[in-house]
Amino acid sequence: MLNLSNSLKKHLEKALIKAFPEIAKAAQMAGLSIDPELVPTSRPEFGDFQANIALKLAKSLKTAPRSVAQAIVEELQNDDDFIRLCEPPEIAGPGFINLTIKTINLVEEIKSRLHDPRLGVPSVNKAKSAPIVVDFSSPNIAKEMHVGHLRSTIIGDSIARILEFRGHPVLRINHVGDWGTQFGMLITQLKSVAPKALTTPEVIDLGDLVTFYRQAKERFDQEPAFQATSREEVVKLQRGDPLSIKAWELLCEQSRKEFQKIYSRLDVHITERGESFYNSYLEQVVIDLENSGLLVIDEGAKCVFLEGITGKNGRLLPVIVQKSDGGFNYATTDLAAIRYRFNAAPKGDGACRLIYVTDAGQANHFTGIFQVAKRAKWVPHNARVEHVPFGLVQGEDGKKLKTRSGETVRLRDLLDEAIKRAESDLRRRLNEEGRTEEERFIKNVSTTVGIAAVKYADLSQNRVTNYQFSFDRMLALQGNTAPYLLYAFVRIAGIVRKGGTPDIHTDTFSFETSQEWSLVRQLLKLDEVITEVEEELLPNRLCTYLFELSQIFNRFYDQVPILKANNQAKNSRLALCLLTSNTLKLGLRLLGISTLERM
RNA sequence: GGGGCUGUAGCUCAGCCGGAUAGAGCGACGGUUUCCUAAACCGUAGGUCGUGGGUUCGAGUCCCGCCAGCCCCGCCA
């Protein structure tokens, strides 16, 4: 209903100027316009929208709020366009103006959506729009992906999907940890225990690498000789020694294959551009910070001290961009990345917005480097840099998620488990209902439901809070879960199979019951929800919307006959089914979740 | 010590720019199947929004203090 609420807003603004010209003039002088404070109503019985401005104006006008509202309403009723759009406004409570869209306009909206593949969601002008970088997932080479990466991957992918659907060019960037001191250790260890792995592909898998990495770390902490060799190895790598580079490439390739398996299962597409990509830009970061006068050498390290952020002992906190041994660190890389992403092509991405989807523990780090980048004037005017933080994944005991033996949970095991549980649920139900289905059907449904459940459980929660992981809850057949939404979709598919294709070219849709009108109104809210998520980057708002849509649909399905209704009612109801189906499908797609015809 | 995030029903969580009587789901209790997949629907019970102040016509939401939990705080990412 974006277009309806936008025109309502215009009518209200016009009415405000007419009713209170002096206030409008004063606002204009200050470079503002009066905001009518138009919002969706808090309860359906108040209509579709409410304008709250009268309550605000009452004070400066020294008039009772209800008479302010009355003056606005009188102007509205002199406006023919408004009268065509809306039922007579009602003044309620202390001075709210309640507005109800005329049903004929709602029906028109439904009609236009039945013919619109975008379901009424506007698209930005791609030609004029600069790319948005979504930096997400970002596992480390030679380590297993864990549940933290899962959250980043699922949330980042959904945000990217929503921005893409809105028409923005999106760069999905996998900022993998593919550089740094850990490679010195790892290569040194492999040289001594598995030299073949450094020269021949496919000799070791990621599981082995993780073991070698753990061993290397232990030796690094205990053996001075090992430490020294590792440091030399890092230097060799950074100088571009061909043998070291070759070994490094093999390690990356091995990890990459393993990551790709997870991404394929999750249907996530992402472009790898790891930390190593920025190696050649690091030196310039330090030089330019020095030239701009921000750089301070402290205890041998080159730092930028942050304004207004103190650490221990009350001193300002530094961002270290070059260590006392001359090496660069992650802050340098992140700064180089910010520059590159904002720089115009071909020397950069020419982005207008950077979105980092990482755990909330990195909030301080991002605050720091964003401040440095801004002070160094590397962030263009009107550009945005945003950290999109998310909370920890906890087990049902409220502690950080671990396996029973206390190990980190591997992603592939977690996905396997979800699918396995979905499968046994399905088999039990088939058994109870006496249904028989092909193995292929069972596998497909279990996989889709299992993956959907994992994704939806993560996305449906406000990301900033910690997230309590529970297979039982995410796979529950009722409540705000993926299976519930998928089932609503399946019900519609069932109706369509029974010969329920509506004629959407007819002019005579008519909706009678309150269940139909609730569904109509909910369907028309999609555009508002999508544009809100685009701005706030909170996919859980989309989940809430889809859950409410499913609830309203299930109520309608339960209480209103569709296939058995008379012709005109039947066609109208089938049209609502079709639009609900399309809306659910699109919404779920934007969450990275695919739908099923039967389950 | 400094900073960040969190605190809402027994449990898991929503709550948009400050708006009308704070909402779901689970769990509990009680109903609904000659009818499009009952993986559904309907109903009942359940709240000092951590706490004390402040701002406001109006505060779960904004500001300040306090309490509790989690996370971060110089050369790891």
Which residue is nearest to the C1' sugar atom of B75, using CA? A323
Peptide bond between residue A483 and the one before it cis (omega within 30 degrees of 0) = no
Instruction: Give the N- to C-terminal CA distance of chain A in Å, as an integer.
Output: 33
pLDDT of res. A33: 74
Q: How far is the CA of A197 from the C1' of B15 (A)?
A: 54
Q: A358 pairs with which residues across the strands? A: A389
CB A398 within 8 A of CB A468: yes
Distance CA A488, CA A547 (A): 10
* Cα-based distances in Å from A324 to A19, A291, A294, A575: 68, 19, 17, 69
Which residue is nearest to the C1' sugar atom of B13, using CA? A461
Q: How far is the CA of A233 from the C1' of B43 (A)?
A: 71
Residue A555 — very low, low, confident or very high, per pLDDT cuts 50/70/90?
A: very high
pLDDT of res. A132: 97
Q: Which nucleotide is nearest to A573 (CA to C1')?
A: B36
pLDDT of res. A234: 83
Q: How far is the CA of A499 from the C1' of B25 (A)?
A: 34
Which residue is nearest to the C1' sugar atom of B7, using CA? A465
Q: Which nucleotide is nearest to A91 (CA to C1')?
A: B20
| Least confidently predicted of A12-16, A163-167, A182-186, A284-288 | A182-186
CA-nearest of A325, A322, A333, A390 to A356 is A390
Residue A411 has pLDDT above 80, yes or no: yes
Which residue is nearest to the C1' sugar atom of B20, using CA? A93
Q: Which nucleotide is nearest to A491 (CA to C1')?
A: B37
pLDDT of res. A192: 85
Pick the CATH number of A276-390 from 1.10.274.10, 3.40.50.1220, 3.90.226.10, 3.40.50.620: 3.40.50.620
Q: Give CA A421 to chain center in angstroms.
A: 26
- The answer to whether domain A2-101 and domain A276-390 are alike in fold is no
* Per-range mean pLDDT, top range of A232-236, A395-399, A421-425: A421-425
CA-nearest of A399, A433, A403 to A416 is A403
Q: A355 pairs with which residues across the strands? A: A134, A386
Mean pLDDT confidence for A248-260: 90
Q: Which nucleotide is nearest to A175 (CA to C1')?
A: B77
Distance CA A525, CA A552 (A): 13
Q: Which nucleotide is nearest to A486 (CA to C1')?
A: B39
Q: How far is the CA of A499 from the C1' of B27 (A)?
A: 40
Residue A221 has pLDDT above 90, yes or no: no
Residue A137 has pLDDT above 80, yes or no: yes
A529-551 pLDDT tens trace: 999 999 999 999 999 999 999 99
Mean pLDDT confidence for A208-230: 84
Q: How far is the CA of A362 from the C1' of B77 (A)?
A: 9
Sheet holding A295-298, edge to edge: A295-298, A301-310, A316-322
What per-residue string of b and e applies to A227-260 under the rule 16 or more CB within 10 Å gives b? Answer: bebbbebbebbbeeeeebeebbebbbebbbebbe
Distance CA A254, CA A233 (A): 20
Q: How far is the CA of A517 from the C1' of B44 (A)?
A: 27
Q: How far is the CA of A54 from the C1' of B58 (A)?
A: 13
Residue A24 has pLDDT above 90, yes or no: no
- Share in percent of chain A as helix, strand, coil (round to 5): 60, 10, 30
Which residue is nearest to the C1' sugar atom of B6, using CA? A465
pLDDT of res. A597: 94
Q: How many CB atoms lie within 10 A of CB A402?
A: 14
Which residue is nearest to the C1' sugar atom of B57, using CA? A55
Which residue is nearest to the C1' sugar atom of B12, using CA? A468
Q: How far is the CA of A437 from the C1' of B49 (A)?
A: 49
Q: How far is the CA of A281 from the C1' of B72 (A)?
A: 28
Q: Which two structure tokens, joined as six digits, stand for A531?
A: 């544009």
Which residue is nearest to the C1' sugar atom of B22, using CA? A42
pLDDT of res. A77: 94
Q: How far is the CA of A514 from the C1' of B47 (A)?
A: 30
Mean pLDDT confidence for A113-130: 92
Q: How far is the CA of A467 from the C1' of B12 (A)?
A: 10
Which residue is nearest to the C1' sugar atom of B25, using CA? A479
For chain A, which residues make up each domain, given as ranges?
2-101, 181-268, 276-390
Find all residues with CB under 8 Å of A68, minimum gap 6, and list them: A54, A57, A58, A61, A95
**What is the amino acid identity at position A69?**
A
- On strand B, nucleotides with any atom < 7 Å from a protein CB are 1-7, 12-17, 19-20, 24-27, 35-42, 56-58, 70-77
CATH code, residues A2-101? 3.30.1360.70
CB A489 within 8 A of CB A497: no
Residue A184 — very low, low, confident or very high, per pLDDT cuts 50/70/90?
A: confident
DSSP code of A278? G
Q: How far is the CA of A452 from the C1' of B68 (A)?
A: 36
Q: How far is the CA of A309 from the C1' of B54 (A)?
A: 27
Q: Which nucleotide is nearest to A477 (CA to C1')?
A: B39
Which residue is nearest to the C1' sugar atom of B37, using CA? A491
Residue A421 has pLDDT above 80, yes or no: yes
Residue A500 has pLDDT above 80, yes or no: no
Q: How far is the CA of A430 from the C1' of B62 (A)?
A: 54
| Least confidently predicted of A183-192, A512-521, A576-585 | A183-192
Q: Which nucleotide is nearest to A314 (CA to C1')?
A: B2
Residue A302 has pLDDT above 90, yes or no: yes
pLDDT of res. A492: 94
Distance CA A388, CA A160 (A): 12
Which residue is nearest to the C1' sugar atom of B56, using CA? A56
A443-466 pLDDT tens trace: 999 999 999 999 999 999 999 999
Look at the block and give the residue holding tokens 């992906």.
Answer: A145
